[in-house]
Amino acid sequence: MKHTGIGQKAIVLGTLAIILAAMLFPQGVWAQDKAPAAKININTASAAELQQLPRVGEKVAQRIVDFRTQNGKFTKIEEIMKVRGIGEKIFLQLKDLITVGDTSK
């Protein structure tokens, strides 16, 4: 009878764990940030829609809505950094996911 070493058993068990994880979580168990399929217009999006953005939770989404209600529409995406809770670091993660739409009208 042939004995399998502990290292080989670990490899087999690790491989099985990866396969099981891929079957149970087809979108990826390692995906931590959410990202919308299309750009989100920060001038028209609801708080719920804004929460689809990475690092934007319920409170920050509501602050975005409140900010534009009090100050008018954003004219450029960089203005989102005026919202409390969104600094340059978070903006860099959002800039390719957001738009202000056509503000020439």
- CATH number of the domain that residue 46 is part of: 1.10.150.320
What was the pLDDT predicted at 53? 96
Residues 46 and 48: their CA atoms lie apart, in Å, by: 5
Q: Is residue 104 part of a domain?
A: no
Q: Say yes or no: 9 and 26 in one domain.
A: yes
What was the pLDDT predicted at 9? 79
Domain of 47 in residue numbering reads as 40-99
Residues 54 and 100: their CA atoms lie apart, in Å, by: 17
What was the pLDDT predicted at 43? 97
pTM of full prediction above 0.75 = no
Number of domains in the chain: 2
Residues of the chain with pLDDT under 50: 28-32
Give the CA distances from residue 34 to residues 27, 51, 56, 88, in Å, rounded to whole numbers and listed in that order: 11, 9, 9, 19
What was the pLDDT predicted at 103? 64
What was the pLDDT predicted at 37? 73
What was the pLDDT predicted at 2? 58
DSSP for residue 83: S
What was the pLDDT predicted at 30? 46
What was the pLDDT predicted at 59? 97
Q: Say yes or no: 45 and 62 in one domain.
A: yes
Q: Is residue 85 part of a domain?
A: yes
What was the pLDDT predicted at 34? 54
